[in-house]
């Protein structure tokens, strides 16, 4: 009887053991595709992705929004490095204003006394370089039906900058009725200084402007032959270049070509186009230059003669009173961090301070990354005083009606 019982037990338990995997089996097989599928999807993903990343081409939808990214920073950093090299490490003096301000008659001592008594009475001050500067008494871009300020908190500039932007857009609207409002991006923060994601936009003289599109757009959209409003966009660029105190305009090469071809069809003076547009390849330092990342907006750097000169005079006492941040400088060195570099080492090497380097680069800690390029504000070397140069404008010659007819 005992043998029969134990035999029966041994017969039943193998059956249970065999049944258990059968019940667990479907569960395992049901989970298997979940584990394998992501591997298959991940393996297929890289195939299409390199194309847009490598070529930086627009998406399939040409009207899709194209937000400003790191290319803007790289382009401006390269531009600033070229300017620094050209100036042999020293920034040229700001040009003289076309209509001298009575404030320019004040000595440094008088300017300081007036500022202490009533800071607003000295007007906007643009301090230092555009990539190592600050803004005092900035003016906010006003509202208008002719433009749309994307971020009012970052739309502060010198009075001269704000006036130049307004005049340029208003002229386009007057000459081309029905012009849609133009998108205005960043100028500077209220007190200037580092403004993410830019390297410049620090002293109230830089602005990002959208292109005119057809159909109209109210944000930055990549310009193509199919959607760019050539008539109004060329009118905007021409007005900025010929009627404002402008230092440079950054526009993508592809957009430059579209604008130049349009200008030729209109019969614009060829010599003037050679002088203005880099895409023509005829002038060593054209005002309109290529910058990667500027296919969906143009970047304008204005000259603010009054604000720059007053800022130069007031810089010393504003730094002393800690109104101006320590990073404000007229000269900037671009340094690529190497192994062993620290902010303390860089500060000693370039004769500046850790706080100044942090301020110029928007650093909140003392950590730096090897291989990354940093802006190092350096004290301006003593130079002999020079008379400020007049703002350079590129006014086109009078239109030749006969030539315009032949050009069409």
pLDDT score, position 41: 34
Give the domains, in start order, of the chain with CATH numbers: 70-306 (3.30.1380.10)
Give the relative orientation of helices 343-350 and 354-361 as an angle to the nearest 10 degrees: 110
Q: What ranges make up the beta strands (E) of 264-390? A: 288-289, 298-302, 331-336, 373-378
C-alpha to C-alpha distance for 210 and 175, rounded to whole angstroms: 18
In order along its 408 residues, the chain shows pLDDT tens digits of 455 544 544 444 444 444 333 333 333 333 333 333 333 333 333 334 333 333 333 332 323 333 344 344 444 444 554 444 444 444 444 444 455 789 999 999 999 999 999 999 999 999 998 988 999 999 999 999 999 999 999 999 999 999 999 999 999 999 999 999 999 999 999 999 999 999 899 999 999 999 999 999 989 999 999 999 999 999 999 999 999 999 999 999 999 999 999 999 999 999 999 999 999 988 888 999 998 889 999 999 999 999 999 999 998 899 888 888 878 887 788 899 888 899 898 988 888 888 888 888 888 898 989 888 888 888 765 444 443 454 566 777 666 544 443 333
pLDDT score, position 77: 47
pLDDT score, position 3: 52
C-alpha to C-alpha distance for 118 and 302, rounded to whole angstroms: 27
Per residue in 219-236, pLDDT (tens digit) is 999 999 999 999 999 999
Number of H-type helices and E-type strands within the chain: 12, 12
pLDDT score, position 392: 60
pLDDT score, position 108: 93
pLDDT score, position 333: 86
Give the relative orientation of helices 305-320 and 159-175 as an angle to the nearest 10 degrees: 150
Among 257, 284, 296, 246, CA closest to 75: 296
Q: What ranges make up the beta strands (E) of 21-124? A: none
C-alpha to C-alpha distance for 365 and 343, rounded to whole angstroms: 10
DSSP per-residue letters across 208-250: EEPPPBSS--SS-B---TTTB-HHHHHHHHHHHHHHS-EEEEE
C-alpha to C-alpha distance for 307 and 127, rounded to whole angstroms: 8
């Amino acid at each position: 009887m005992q043998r029969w019982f134990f035999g029966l037990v041994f017969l039943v338990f193998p059956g249970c053991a065999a049944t258990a995997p059968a019940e667990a089996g479907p569960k395992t097989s049901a989970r298997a595709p979940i584990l394998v599928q992501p591997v298959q999807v991940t393996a297929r993903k890289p195939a299409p992705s390199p194309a847009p990343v490598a070529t930086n081409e627009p998406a399939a939808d040409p009207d899709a929004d194209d937000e400003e990214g790191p290319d803007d920073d790289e382009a401006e950093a390269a531009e600033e490095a070229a300017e620094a090299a050209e100036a042999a490490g020293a920034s040229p003096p700001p040009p003289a204003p076309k209509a001298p301000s009575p404030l320019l008659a004040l000595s440094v001592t008088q300017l300081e006394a007036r500022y202490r008594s009533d800071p607003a009475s000295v007007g906007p001050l643009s301090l230092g370089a555009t990539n190592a500067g600050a803004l005092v008494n900035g003016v906010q871009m006003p509202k208008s039906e002719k433009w749309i300020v994307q971020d009012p908190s970052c739309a502060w500039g010198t009075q001269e900058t704000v006036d130049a932007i307004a005049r340029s857009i208003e002229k386009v609207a007057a000459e081309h009725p029905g012009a849609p409002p133009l998108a205005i991006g960043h100028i500077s923060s209220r007190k200037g200084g580092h403004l993410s994601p830019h390297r410049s936009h620090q002293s109230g003289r830089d602005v990002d402007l959208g292109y005119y599109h057809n159909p109209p757009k109210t944000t930055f959209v990549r310009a193509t032959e199919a959607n760019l409003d050539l008539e109004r966009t060329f009118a905007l660029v021409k007005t900025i270049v010929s009627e404002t105190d402008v230092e440079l305009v950054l526009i993508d090469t592809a957009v430059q070509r579209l604008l130049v071809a349009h200008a030729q069809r209109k019969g614009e003076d060829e010599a003037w186009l050679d002088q203005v547009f880099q895409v023509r390849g005829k002038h060593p330092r054209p005002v309109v230059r290529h910058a990667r990342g500027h296919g969906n907006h143009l970047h304008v750097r204005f000259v603010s003669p009054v604000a720059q000169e007053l800022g130069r005079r007031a810089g010393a006492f504003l730094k002393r009173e800690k109104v101006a941040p320590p990073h404000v400088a007229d000269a900037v060195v671009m340094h690529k961090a190497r192994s062993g570099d620290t902010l303390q080492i860089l500060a000693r090497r370039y004769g500046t301070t850790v706080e100044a380097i942090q301020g110029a680069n928007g650093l909140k800690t003392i950590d730096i990354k090897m291989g990354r390029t940093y802006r190092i504000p350096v004290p301006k070397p003593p130079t002999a005083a020079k008379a400020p140069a007049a703002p350079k404008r590129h006014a086109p010659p009078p239109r030749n009606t006969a030539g315009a007819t032949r050009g069409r």
